[in-house]
Amino acid sequence: MSYPRSNLTGVNVVQEYRYLAPSTAGAGGVDLQTCGGPAANPRFFSGFLTTPAAAAAGLLAVADVARTRYFQPVNPASLDPVVTGSADRLRFESFSGCCGAYARLDALPAGLDGDVLEHGTTNVDVNAPLREALARISGLDPLHLSVGPDALIASTLDGTVVEKKVPLPARWLRGFAEVHVLSAGFDLRAELPAAEAVAFLRRLPGANDRSVLWAVPAGRSLRLTSRPVPGAVCLAGAGRLASLRGLLRYSKTLRVYGPPIKAGSQPVASAWELDTGALRLTLTLSPEPHRGFSGEGAALTSLAGDEVADDADLVGALLSWDPTIDVSTLADGAAIDTARVRAALAQLGTAGRVGYDVSESAYFHRVLPYDAARAERDNPRLVGARTLAESGSVALDGESAATVRSGDQTYRVRRHPDGAMSCTCPWWAKHRGGRGPCKHALAVTIVTNAPVRA
């Protein structure tokens, strides 16, 4: 059975995966069937999780996010999380069906009692029987994970391959790209001990609340306010944090991350991380419940620059499967400065090749099963900007201004002393740069090959 989806050009997009069999759970442990990766059906990890009940709760949280649409809820999305094995840890990632929440469970070295046999990224089948089995794990019940079977069974006239087709939406690629660019601008804003974390999460509004609140550090806890103030963290749609509650009783700390906030700030993304010592569950929320990460536009600048693309090719060839990416080491290996490496990593993120870990303030390597050019090809603003640039619709007026003809309209784009750009178009008037640059500012960026800030 296939599950077609339409991309922005109206063409059905189907990602096809081959599973040896459904994921299963029994007396011998849990066997997660995978697909793809550097080899056919690789076994990334085989062994026990040292905190089985907590690990089961974390896996269920990631799976629950994948099957939930927080805005305009409908039937479960039933999308499969992504798993990455790298050196000493496993990472499970998913987006909500509405693409407004991103979840990642990191099983750290202290949480694994086994070997990471291969390095790579694949999709994981988390089906109903597996969910039920994970929900039953408690106390000292062992949890053994074998991520991937030993061999691939192929279908010929003489035999059968068990095949399953699952959609990995184009929105997920754009979502991964946006989340890692936004997260790289986050700093730790608050750290709550377990007791205070429990009390704070229990005080939050219910699942149907869609208001934008702001969490302000107050002693060992957080207090909520309706207005942004310096040091606050945006909390939009507080009910979306409900996915953390399953792991809460095993956690030692709740950490909260976000970008700098000042009075009058617009809603922004934020990250909420539970740490058990062996596991970390991070939930990143979009600036507003109705906004999916796929439309935020934070990665557009990284996609627009030709020089950055060349650096990305160079840096991409040097990536290894270390748990975190050392920017200085990459800079030495590529013979470019660290600023160019960071820009290259931002562009690699738009192809799903790197993510960002706010806890370690570092990028990590993964490879998603996407066409590397899809993020650019499926982004209407960038497509429109390239059309404007290639058609000669951009007329520069010195170093700080330009005129852009778009259809029957003419717009003025200005570059301000701090590097930010503004435009006279309706998009900029509506969002004021809060959802990335408009296509006219991007067109100027392409023509001048200069960096742009929203």
- Separation CA 186–CA 140 (nearest Å): 37
Give yes or no for a contact between 178 and 349, defined as CB atoms under 8 angstroms apart: no
- Separation CA 106–CA 91 (nearest Å): 5
pLDDT at 108: 95
Give yes or no for a contact between 47 and 115, defined as CB atoms under 8 angstroms apart: yes
pTM for this prediction = 0.79
Sign of the C-alpha dihedral computed for residues 309, 99, 97 and 136 taken in this order: positive
Q: What residues contact residue 97 under an 8 Å CB cut-off, 6+ apart?
A: 66, 67, 68, 69, 74, 76, 77, 79
The H or E element spanning position 102 is strand 101-107
The H or E element spanning position 123 is strand 120-124
Amino acid at 314: L
- Report helix, strand or coil for 275: strand
- Report helix, strand or coil for 185: coil
Sign of the C-alpha dihedral computed for residues 106, 110, 114 and 118 taken in this order: positive
Please count the residues of the chain: 454
pLDDT at 217: 94
Give yes or no for a contact between 146 and 45, defined as CB atoms under 8 angstroms apart: yes
- pLDDT by 10s per residue, the chain, length 454: 333 333 433 333 444 445 555 665 555 555 555 554 445 555 677 778 899 899 989 989 998 998 888 876 555 555 677 878 787 888 989 998 888 999 999 999 999 988 766 677 777 666 677 777 778 888 778 887 776 543 222 222 232 223 343 556 667 777 887 898 889 899 999 999 999 999 999 989 877 778 899 999 998 999 999 999 999 999 999 999 999 999 999 999 999 999 999 988 889 999 999 999 999 999 999 999 888 887 666 667 666 666 777 888 888 888 887 888 888 999 999 999 888 888 888 778 877 788 999 999 999 988 776 655 665 666 788 888 889 999 999 999 888 899 999 988 999 999 888 778 899 999 888 887 777 788 898 899 888 874 444 4
Give yes or no for a contact between 61 and 244, defined as CB atoms under 8 angstroms apart: yes
pLDDT at 312: 83
- Specify the residue for token string 């690699």: 348
